[in-house]
Amino acid sequence: MKKEEKGISRRRFLTGSTAIALSGLLSKKIFAQTKDSPPQKSGTRLVLLGTGGGPRPNKMRAQSSWVVLVNDVPYVVDCGEGVSRQLVFANVPLRNLRYIFITHHHSDHNLDYGNLLYNAWVSGFKGRIDTYGPPPIEKMTKLYLEMNAYDINIRIPDEGRPPLPPMIFAHEFSKDGVVMQNENVKVTAALVNHPPVEPSFAYRFDTPDRSIVFSGDTTPWDNLIKLAQGADVLVHEVIHKPSLARLMARIPNADRLVEHIVASHTTHIDVGKVAKAAGVKTLVLTHFVPSDDPLLTDEVWVDGAKTHFDGKIIVGKDLMEI
């Protein structure tokens, strides 16, 4: 479980005032361009950072990532490309990063995992970051830090930053169970079915005021239904099977992609069955496949899901707070 990365000088340097001033200026500029940073909030909030499914970047949705904020402490789930900037847009300061959870190692869920660690560091992060996920998350962490050692080693003395590798603790696991618990949050992992990626996990977050479950990528699956029993919110992936032919027409050299999508994901009809069987209050749809088809309106997704589920259904959008 525990893994402390070593290899870089453990000497510490005073944080450079220039670096702080610069990062402060940049944040102010970004907030001014969007909206002001909200005051500290207590309780549990959920922000959808990226709601697209699949590895191909597009204009409509960012790749998979969500953040649970408990008393303003961020718990990031998945790190699709662009997660750092989406957090900035959501007014979550990167220097506050503390926990990262990866559901499985498809690139649309982990491509910016290392970059998020790095970006937190250059944004002034100082404490420790614990990351959780299936193998090979320990190796990925180590190799990312090695790959970027040249830049990291320059910035340590040049900008007065503390060494990054000793601050990162990667925890990997392959079975169901509680993977993290502190005074505010308990996180439970459950194996799901997402061939050929094994193991793939769903996560449940229980806090004093809310329970939120992330399906990860999966077919309809009993172990997920068990994990999600009675949850306030189920954030579930979804595909629209009738539109896959149109998707294929836009992607060259992807003959076997439809086969993979159908065999390892959940349709917009079946997702309602899962929500009903789990008895959740609210179903949030995410990881849309196709994610950039203009013909797929919110109504299409809701109509499918409500065939079997009569609770609240939300069609997820990037940066939506729930």
Q: Rule CB under 5 A: which residues touch Zn ion?
A: 106, 108, 217
Nearest distance in Å: CB 175, Zn ion: 19
Catalytic residue among 36, 72, 108, 209: 108
Cβ distance to Zn ion smaller for residue 158 or 198:
198
Cβ distance to Zn ion smaller for residue 217 or 270:
217
Nearest CA among 48, 52, 70, 69 for reference residue 61? 52
Cβ distance to Zn ion smaller for residue 108 or 206:
108
Q: Which residue type sits at 284?
A: V
End-to-end CA distance of the chain: give it in Å, rounded.
Answer: 32
Nearest distance in Å: CB 202, Zn ion: 12
Nearest CA among 95, 94, 12 for reference residue 49? 94
Q: 110: which 2 tokens?
A: 């982990």
Distance CA 80, CA 209 (A): 28
Q: Which residue type sits at 300?
A: V
Cβ distance to Zn ion smaller for residue 192 or 227:
192
Q: DSSP assignment, residue 175?
A: S
Cβ distance to Zn ion smaller for residue 106 or 240:
106
Nearest distance in Å: CB 287, Zn ion: 6
Cβ distance to Zn ion smaller for residue 108 or 270:
108
Contact in structure between 206 and 110 (CB atoms under 8 Å): no
Contact in structure between 240 and 261 (CB atoms under 8 Å): no
Nearest distance in Å: CB 41, Zn ion: 29
Side by side, the strands of the sheet bearing 65-70 are: 44-50, 65-70, 73-77, 99-101, 129-133, 168-172
Distance CA 99, CA 132 (A): 8
Measure the CA angle with vertex 311, ends 305 and 312; round to 5°.
85
Nearest CA among 223, 254, 212, 282 for reference residue 54? 254
Q: Check if 108 is active-site.
A: yes
Nearest distance in Å: CB 317, Zn ion: 17
Nearest distance in Å: CB 265, Zn ion: 8
Q: Based on C-alpha coordinates, what's the Rg of the chain?
A: 20
Residues annotated as catalytic are: 108
